[in-house]
Amino acid sequence: MEKILPLWEEEQEVPTPLLHAPASSSIKRVPWGKCLLISPWNYPLQLSLSPLLTALLTGNQVTLRPSEHAPKTAEFLKKMCLECFPEVEVITGGDYTTTQALLEKEWDFIFFTGSTRVGKLVMKAASENLTPVLLELGGKSPCVIWKNDPFKAKTIAQRLLWGKFFNAGQTCVAPDYLIVEKNYWNFLAPALQATLKEFFPENLPLKENMASIASLSHFERLEKMLPHSSHTLLVEGLRKKEELMFGPTLILVSDVKNSPLFKEEIFGPILPIVLVEEKKEIYELISEHPNPLASYLF
């Protein structure tokens, strides 16, 4: 950042259009002004500090609204800012109505990280005052396994399942669903089973090596996605609602268009698997959803 800031502060000379000759032209970067930063609950510290520090270093006034679903981190951020950045206002407590009230105020810039559903509400509120916004949202990120080496099945399974179940799948760039060449499934299926046993040993409590689900409402939302006529349960993870523990779950899906797992981003430890025979099926399946935030190809 020490190297970048001087570059941002320098005026950049640019060519002058013929219409304005013989004047000279340059670009000068200036702070936006009053910025509202709304951070999420899945990585509440990292995704608060990253935009906060950037906004402060570039000369902006900052109001930070940490997620109400991570109250302990929110209180830590408030205490930290009182000690280190007293000019930052941190709004804790309350519920979604507190965030709504903040969005009704006039800002020079709004930075939001979170779900697509809430992102639409943020953009709608910002449009009332024509406030510029930066939205970091999620999406249904596919993972495709096509024409691969059978001997690489274990490596693929390890990388795939680590990326999917890290933080219990509550990561915006986590693989949301898996597309596998039908012939390769015979090699991948046992590799997935073996890898799950390595990652989550039966003799260890699930909570020792698996993050919990953020809230009861999110847990119940995930449970409602499971039952459907097109679902074949391959691995059913242990679930404890009172502890918000939701074990790794693998589901083979035969009807993508009607499956609840394909209606929205899962954002949890459920991995739907679709088997395909032709490459065109991959393109058709992915194109049925909005552009993904990330894609993974093996």
Say whether both 161 and 81 belong to one domain: no
Q: For 6-56, what is each residue's pLDDT tens digit? A: 877 888 999 999 999 899 999 999 999 999 999 999 999 999 999 999 999
Annotated catalytic residue, options 143, 172, 181, 265 = 172
Say whether both 59 and 74 belong to one domain: yes
> Band of the pLDDT at 202, cuts 50, 70, 90?
confident
Say whether both 271 and 168 belong to one domain: yes
Give the residue numbers spanning the domain of 105.
32-136
Known active-site residue 84: no
Of the three residues 136, 170, 204, the one that is the final residue of a domain is 136
Say whether both 94 and 173 belong to one domain: no
Q: For 103-127, what is each residue's pLDDT tens digit? A: 999 999 999 999 888 999 999 999 9
> Is residue 16 situated within a structural domain?
no
Q: For 207-222, what is each residue's pLDDT tens digit? A: 888 999 999 999 999 9
Say whether both 117 and 157 belong to one domain: no
> Band of the pLDDT at 99, cuts 50, 70, 90?
very high
- As for how many domains the chain has, the answer is 2
Cα(first)–Cα(last) distance of the chain, in Å?
35
For the cut 70, the answer to whether the pLDDT of residue 1 exceeds it is no
Average pLDDT, the chain: 93
Annotated catalytic residue, options 75, 89, 136, 281 = 136
Say whether both 154 and 271 belong to one domain: yes
Q: Residue 291's pLDDT is what?
A: 82
Known active-site residue 172: yes
Say whether both 83 and 163 belong to one domain: no
CATH number where 290 lies: 3.40.309.10
